Copies of this chain bind each other. A is one copy, B any other.
Amino acid sequence: MKMKKFINQPENIVAELLEGFALSHPQQIRLVGNNLVARAAPKAKGKVGVVTLGGSGHEPGLSGFVGEGMLDVSVPGEIFAAPGAPRCLEAIRLADYGAGVLFIVLNHAGDVLSANLTMEMAKREGLNVKMTLTHEDISGGTNPEDRRGLVGFLPVYKVAGAAAEEGQPLDACFEIAERMGRNMRTLAVAVQTATHPSTGHAIFELGDDEMEIGMGQHGEAGTGRMKLKSADETAEIMLEMLLKDLEVKAGEELLVVINGAGATTLMELFILFRRVDQILKARGIKLARAKVGEFITTQEQAGFQLMIARMDQVLLRLWDAPSNAPYFVVR
């Protein structure tokens, strides 16, 4: 299948998409410095800054979540590639309003490499930065370091961003982010490949009747290639694995996020969610909050990510706090 995308010169994709993003949301965000996505109206002194980094081509992730109540600055990389450390350092300086900076990093090799280098440079400059790593993809095995960061970034941005917005100090924001991170689990499934928009090449191959559970954000191999299953069967398999890994007990309260990969429809995500809700009810687990939509995509890939997170009253309050981020408005 030939790639049919509305682009111009492939080498200009990232610059042009960021320009369009900024022009379409002038009240909320602006581009500053070396293509950093920052709030249009930065906070005055005293607030902890919240910064993230990540490759482009996953819109609205990650820069769509810059805004009051969420991120202060996002550092977008090239397509499917981490940004370099100098731009991350620039973002941290920008977000340092005097109360320190929380640096949220998704566990992918390139991102972690840039982030670690950034932390060394920041330390040398005497900047007050704490880094939190999200790694909630259970397909990576039992070692946390082998678990990738998937859509779990969303609740981490949300609760840590809300804590920062209400004036909590850096240590507290860091602890909130880590607590959210420890209590969430994600599993992805893919049924159709994406093409890399700069080259037009498929990023993985799947048979006409196959799906793969555990596939990473860019087609990284998962744990279970199998025949395509119904929505209900797919939801059952994935949710059981997640509940077991997080050791969820009856009576506990969960946040559930279903994230569409790109070409998978909201229609399908709702059908999947229905089965998730049925299973939780049958097990006496309370659905505290839900979010269904596209938060991090991979071009025209089809599939979805299912995330569950154990919530407490503090995390729920922060999840519900207002946000004006362009792709996550909360009243």
Contacts and interface: CB of A to CB of B under 8 A. Distances in A.
Contacts of A290: 23-25
B263 A263 contact: yes
Identical copies of this chain, number: 2
Contact of A269 (B19, B20, B274, B292): B20
Interface stretch (A177-185, A218-226, A227-235): A227-235
B5 A265 contact: yes
Interface stretch (A39-47, A159-167, A295-303): A295-303
A4 interface: yes
A231 B6 contact: yes
Contacts of A143: none
A294 B266 CA distance: 10
A265 B299 contact: yes
A17 B271 contact: yes
A146 interface: no
B331 A8 contact: no
Nearest to A258: B24
A100 interface: no
A209 interface: yes
A274 B6 contact: no
Contact of A300 (B208, B232, B263, B293): B263
Interface stretch (A131-139, A242-250, A322-330): A322-330
Interface residues on A, range: 35 or more
A60 interface: yes
Contacts of A292: 20, 24
Nearest to A273: B20
Contacts of A192: 4
A7 B60 CA distance: 25
Interface string A269-296: 1111110010000000001001111100
Contact of A4 (B8, B56, B191, B331): B191
Interface string A149-171: 00000000000000000000000
A208 B57 contact: no
Nearest to A191: B4
Contact of A331 (B16, B269, B324): B324
Interface string A93-117: 0000000000000000000000000
A109 B272 CA distance: 32
B20 A277 contact: yes
Contacts of A16: 231, 270-271, 274
Given A1-B1, A8-B232, 6 more contacts: A16-B231, A20-B277, A23-B290, A300-B300, A329-B330, A331-B331
